[in-house]
Chains A and B, each alone.
Chain A
Amino acid sequence: MANIFLNDLRKNYAGQEVIHGITMTIADGEFVVIVGPSGCGKSTLLRMVAGLEGISAGTIEINDKVVNDLEPRQRDIAMVFQNYALYPHMSVRENMAYGLKIAKMPKAEIDQRVAKAAAMLELEPYLDRKPRALSGGQRQRVAMGRALVREPSAFLLDEPLSNLDAKLRVQMRLQIKDLHQTTGQTMLYVTHDQVEAMTLADRLIVMNKGVAEQIATPHEVYMTPASEFVAGFIGSPAMNIFTVQVEAGVAVLPGGHRLPLAGLPADREVRLGLRPEDMEIVGDDTPGIPVVLRSVEWLGADAFGYGMIEGSDVAITLRLPGSTAAARGQRLRVAPPEGRLHLFASDTGKRL
């Protein structure tokens, strides 16, 4: 059981800063997901918490104790690696018992803990096998088991599911969620998969280029993204974002279309964000955005229309009902329902 406190955490590699000051508190038992595009510093952040990377500036506290100068083994954490990092010359049982043996735990208790974890992860038939004789999913579970048996204060997981196929990933995702619910342990989980991020997290850290763009619940992140980056990164298909000119409460869209909207700021240039599902088809006499469809993907329950704002080269994605008859080349007029728009500063990208 642990709370973790990061205070203005920074990391330099050869003079180049890759983590630019992250501050956050992770409560005991919380499931926090670090999400962001490749190279944004997710693994680096996690590895700093684990003690595998040095800290250039700032502090990390685990259970109210600064751990900056502690070795990984003194931090009472367990980690699951992306490539699992199972000891290839040891059986599954030995892999799981390795840390416990080092801790000089009595053999009976080691056996009991390994048996318990193996039962929970359905690994009993494989206990005496070497990792090379296991499938990807089984290896993944052994890696989880090796972390579980130690009953650490916190779990760190670095893209634990990214080497699995889609179906297995869903299965393991649910299993990890269950695991968190039964053990109630603090978890810090890195992924670049936004479905994993949205479904697992109590809270998300959305990272971009070494900066935490937003730290909030999945709901908040989706409904009120703190920046244009977050808005574009979370949500699939991605939010439509384009530059508009505000003139006396009316947004002038690309192509010169005028759209009166509630909640616009004073006259200036802003970035307007509209989610694909937040676009209702309206009549020709109502103000709206004229869209010329280039293609329609029908998925059953709903369909995605990809088109251009008429008279411009700005692409726009619409979510349409599954019953739609819309087809390529068709012209639609859409408008966001009241209050479903996102506005960002055109210079800083911050939410207005």
Chain B
Amino acid sequence: MRRTVFPHKLLPWLLLAPQLAITLIFFYWPAAQAFRQSVLREDPFGLSSTFVGLANFRKVLNDPAYLNAAQVTVVFSLLVAFFAMTIALFLAVQVEKIVRGKGFYRTLMIWPYAVAPAIAGMLWLFMFNPSFGTLAWPLRQLGIAWNPLLDGEQAMALVVAAATWKQISYNFLFFVAGLQAIPKSLLEAAAIDGASRRHAFWTIVFPLLTPTTFFLLVVNTVYALFDTFGIIHAVTSGGPGRSTETLVYKVYNDGFVNLIMGDSAAQSVILMVIVIALTAFQFRFIEKRVHYG
């Protein structure tokens, strides 16, 4: 490894300054604020606050609404990760079979990724809006009492669909790359060994994709946990009732809508712990990632 030596002590710091400033202002400062507020309680008018230790945490963790949000988050994340990954893998495998126009299909597949979460949410909301959605009518014709504005499960299905749709592109790219990294001759060897395509997929391709799958599992979970705020906000705002209120959405709701700063901050801190744990977990496994060859 080559070490670059700067002539001045100051220059490196100057070069790093913009990035450091952004990190400090937008990450460390709010994080510190969250920590501070999570141990304070404001009076009803927001004029003064008192130190209450871990009372906010205790309150949050004993709040049935919070436990509901945790449950919603787990269900939502698992569904999104599962569908986004299986659909993406299916599509990536199918694209491999296309002879003509492979590049065209791949490009099309990548587009949803460029759509902002809120826009993606609106898109799905419009398609499935019970009164004017293009796809709501056929659903009703099929005998489904379609109304995601009233039915919690349907609302969940809608946000899961929107969040999944947006994430498929990303997973697709990684799966395509993963599939391309598997030497063709392995599948030919399997074909000669007597394996059907399906058998070869489950015994050769899928195991060799494990590193990709594992990486995507972590990325998708993190995505579903934290990056889907825009979609939920646009489609259901956490409703109906609290049926699509995830942990992140509840932080926003309690803090910025209901202005209960202490609770909201405590929830943020809990989320921060979850992110740190997930990241540590991811790094450990990516370090150990199996390399075949």
| B-binding residues in A (CB < 8 A) | 50-52, 71-73, 77-79, 81, 83, 85-89, 98-99, 102-103, 132, 146, 150
Could you say which of B109-117, B158-166, B192-200 contacts chain A?
B192-200
Query: Which residue of A83, A132, A146 contacts B292 across the interface (Cβ within 8 Å)?
Result: A132
Chain A CB within 8 A of B46 CB: no
Which residue of chain A has its CB nearest to the CB of B191? A72
On whether the beta carbons of A50 and B192 are closer than 8 Å, the reply is yes
Given the known interface contacts A102-B199, A132-B293, the answer about A83 and B193 at a Cβ–Cβ threshold of 8 Å is no
Q: Shortest distance in angstroms between B66's beta carbon and chain A's nearest beta carbon? A: 43
If A87-B186, A88-B293, A132-B293 touch, whether A79 touches B192 (CB-CB below 8 Å) is: yes
What residues on A are CB-neighbors of B292 within 8 Å?
88-89, 132
Query: How many A-B residue pairs lie within 8 Å, measured between CB atoms?
Result: 62
Given A73-B192, A88-B292, 16 more A-B residue pairs with CB atoms under 8 Å apart are: A51-B191, A51-B192, A52-B188, A73-B195, A77-B192, A78-B192, A81-B185, A83-B183, A85-B186, A87-B186, A87-B189, A88-B293, A98-B195, A99-B195, A102-B194, A146-B193
Q: In the A-B complex, list the 10 residue pairs whose CB atoms are closest, starting with the nearest.
A: A99-B193, A88-B292, A85-B185, A73-B194, A85-B189, A102-B194, A72-B191, A72-B192, A89-B207, A79-B192
C-alpha gap A83/B195 in the complex (Å): 20
Q: Which residues of B have CB within 8 Å of A72?
A: 188, 191-192
| Majority-rule SS of B interface residues | helix
User: How near does chain B come to A142, taking the closest CB pair, in angstroms?
Assistant: 12
**Chain B residue at minimal CB-CB distance from A97:** B193
Count contacts on B: residues with CB < 8 A to the other chain. Answer: 19
Q: Are B185 and A73 in contact (CB under 8 A)?
A: no
Q: A223 to chain B: closest CB distance in Å? A: 37
Q: Does B217 contact A (CB under 8 A)?
A: no
A103 to B193, CA, bound (A): 9
User: Given the complex, which residues of A lie within 8 Å of B60, measured CB to CB?
Assistant: none
Residues of B within 8 A of A77 (CB): 192
Q: Can you report 12 A-B residue pairs in the complex whose CB atoms are below 8 A from each other? A: A51-B191, A73-B194, A73-B195, A73-B196, A78-B192, A85-B183, A85-B185, A87-B204, A98-B190, A98-B203, A102-B199, A103-B194
Identify B193's interface contact among A52, A89, A102, CB under 8 A.
Answer: A102
B189 touching A150, Cβ below 8 Å: no
Distance A150 CA – B193 CA, assembled complex (angstroms): 8
Task: Note all chain B residues with C-beta closer than 8 A to A150.
Answer: 193
What is the CA–CA distance of A103 and B192 in the complex, to the nearest angstrom?
12
Q: Known interface pairs A88-B208, A99-B194. Does A79 touch B293 (Cβ–Cβ under 8 Å)?
A: no
Of all chain B residues, which has the CB nearest A89?
B207
Count chain A CB atoms within 10 A of each CB in B189, B190, B207, B293 and give the residue with the most: B189
Chain A, Cβ-Cβ closest to B185: A85
A175 vs B108: C-alpha distance in the bound complex, in angstroms?
A: 53
